[in-house]
Amino acid sequence: MNIPRRAVFHLATGATLAGILPVDARAQSRAETLRYVTGANINTLDPCVPGTTRESFGLSMNVYDRLFAFGRKQVNGNWVFDSSVIRGELAQSYEMSADKLTITIHLRPDATWQDGSPVTAEDIKWSLDRAVSAKSLAPPQFSTGSLTSPDQFRIVDAKTLTVSLTKPDRLALANLCVPYAIMINSKLAKQHATADDPWALEWTKTNTAASGAYIVESYKPGESVILRRNEAWKGGANGKLPFFRRIILQTVPEAATRANLIERGDADLSIDLAASDIPTMEKSAKAKVISVPQTNGFTHISMNTQVAPFDNPKVRQAIGAALPYENMFQASLFGRGRRLYDASWTGSPPNIDFPQPMPLKTDPARAKQLLAEAGLPNGFKTSFAFSTGAAATAEPVAALVKEALGKVGIDVDIQKKPDAEFNTMEAEKKLPFFIDAGTAWLPATYYYFYLYFTRDQRWNFASWKNTRIEELAALARFETDPAKYEAECKEMIEIFADQQPLLMVWQPNHDAVMAKSVDGYTYQFYRQADFRDLVRA
């Protein structure tokens, strides 16, 4: 049988569309099928499982509903998430008490699970209990919104429940929008729970108990996922079903192959091409590129502030003055992103946005002066590490760091480490000087400081201990006076800019490459594709 070229899904495996989909799926029109290729893999259907990949987070947003979701807005002609707007997904509405200690949530009366059974407050209570109790990724995140105990969630009636807080935490509601906040068909999940696994975490790795816009039809871990539209879905912002009836997700490891698939029209969307391929794709007659700075993320050069000589602020400031920021930016990302250096302000920042450009400027003479003031006029020796997985963007930076610091007397040994070794050493605080990236689910200034600059924990990259920062983060978290919150945030940014525990250098672009016929792409805080917003023009 001869298969027309346009019917062929040319992947690295050479598989055809007919070879991937069942007969009924092949009957679906090409226009209503979205084909998505990624270099990563979906290693679980439950985003709360430790070790979950970012692709699994993205999938879960399309398969599971949460109580709430962020809105979206257009910035410079592109759609981006809007964390200032929180809308209902499984929730139809909510009320906040005057003292901001009680949230009353009303469920959509017509919401159903994907097996057709109604969504009840009992299901939601079980899902929230699981989120704060299971041995998963969810409890640490939920704690940032003061959601820590099943006792906080109370059923009022079949479609109503309340969430109680001990303090008016500004991020309680926002935490119900994150990937971990999946709402689960408790009756189905409990059928697969065991004494050792009361929350059915093992079962949900490869099965779903969801109500979301898409139903998992086929799942091959590390290879492919096929989704079909949930025709009964009610959770959309406008009440409409998604445009695409079917989504085919396939892992294609080579970035060049993914680019070729888009260029040939054999795939519709990819979000993880190499930065060097993007300029070519922008000139393509068949593809287009949506580029948005990762506004809730950052690339950073970190120093372990608990280890000499990086425990000396003057040494950190010297490195901050020695680095060739623009050269690094161009070598790493070809200038594709938002600069977080070369700001003109000193003292108080112009606003409380964070991350925001810092007053970091290349000044070798000042770097030498600061080293002398630190008692190191002849410099010192250190290592600078990056992971092999980030080599394409980090290796050019490392070479420039070595060269620039060598000019001020700092002898740098570059260490390219396997991902697992790098991640372990970073978590155990055994890297003195390194480059990495971070992304915050919730882009609030207080949250950034609480997450990245307080406590002895994984995400405090620089192991920074600053009593005033800890005080201010604690105050801002529960602050209800807008003027006081602004003052607290500005002071945190001032201290950070002066002490330089790490150098936030830029926010890379999130580049989504797609067929010219695909519209509606939205940059989401979890940095993955949301199929629910996409349409084919």
Whether 14 has a pLDDT exceeding 70, the answer reads no
My answer on whether 232 and 181 are in the same domain is no
Summarize pLDDT for 464-496 with one digit per residue, the tens. Answer: 999 999 999 999 999 999 999 999 999 999 999
φ/ψ region of 14 (left if φ > 0, alpha if ψ in -120 to 50, else beta) reads left
Residue 167 CB: number of other CB atoms within 10 A?
13
pLDDT at 276: 82
Query: Do 262 and 270 form a contact (C-beta atoms < 8 A)?
Result: yes
**DSSP label of 377:** T
Q: How far apart are the first and last CA of the chain?
A: 31
Number of domains in the chain: 3
Summarize pLDDT for 189-248 with one digit per residue, the tens. Answer: 999 999 999 999 999 999 999 999 999 999 999 899 999 999 999 887 777 899 999 999
Return mean pLDDT, the chain. Answer: 93
Could you give the CA distance from residue 72 to residue 94 in angstroms, rounded to a whole number? 19
Let me know if residue 195 belongs to a domain.
Answer: no
My answer on whether 468 and 536 are in the same domain is no
pLDDT at 172: 96
Query: Do 155 and 161 form a contact (C-beta atoms < 8 A)?
Result: yes
pLDDT at 15: 42
pLDDT at 28: 52
Summarize pLDDT for 308-338 with one digit per residue, the tens. Answer: 999 999 999 999 999 999 999 999 999 999 9
Whether 19 has a pLDDT exceeding 70, the answer reads no
Average pLDDT estimate for 396-412 = 98
Q: What is the amino acid identity at position 362?
A: T
Let me know if residue 198 belongs to a domain.
Answer: no
Q: Dig out the tokens for 18 from the structure.
A: 């007919």
Average pLDDT estimate for 267-278 = 90
Summarize pLDDT for 356-403 with one digit per residue, the tens. Answer: 999 999 999 999 999 999 999 999 999 999 999 899 999 999 999 999
More confident residue, 137 or 8: 137
Q: Dig out the tokens for 232 from the structure.
A: 């009964």
Let me know if residue 282 belongs to a domain.
Answer: yes
Could you give the CA distance from residue 377 to residue 393 in angstroms, rounded to a whole number? 32
Q: Which domain holds residue 38?
A: 1-63+212-286+516-537
My answer on whether 386 and 405 are in the same domain is yes
Could you give the CA distance from residue 208 to residue 60 in angstroms, rounded to a whole number? 10
Q: Name the band, by pLDDT with cuts 50, 70 and 90, for residue 106.
A: very high
Summarize pLDDT for 507-519 with one digit per residue, the tens. Answer: 999 999 999 999 9
Q: Name the band, by pLDDT with cuts 50, 70 and 90, for residue 275.
A: confident
pLDDT at 239: 76
* Burial of residue 457 (number of CB atoms within 10 Å: 0-12, 13-18, 19+): exposed
Cβ contacts of residue 134 below 8 Å, gap of 6+? Answer: 48, 199, 201
Classify strands 33-38 and 246-251 as parallel, antiparallel or unpaired.
parallel
Let me know if residue 385 belongs to a domain.
Answer: yes
My answer on whether 54 and 71 are in the same domain is no
Whether 299 has a pLDDT exceeding 90, the answer reads yes
Nearest Cα to Cα of residue 533 among 512, 505, 509: 512
H/E stretch holding 336: none
My answer on whether 83 and 130 are in the same domain is yes
Q: Name the band, by pLDDT with cuts 50, 70 and 90, for residue 5.
A: very low
My answer on whether 520 and 482 are in the same domain is no
My answer on whether 255 and 154 are in the same domain is no
Q: Name the band, by pLDDT with cuts 50, 70 and 90, for residue 3.
A: very low
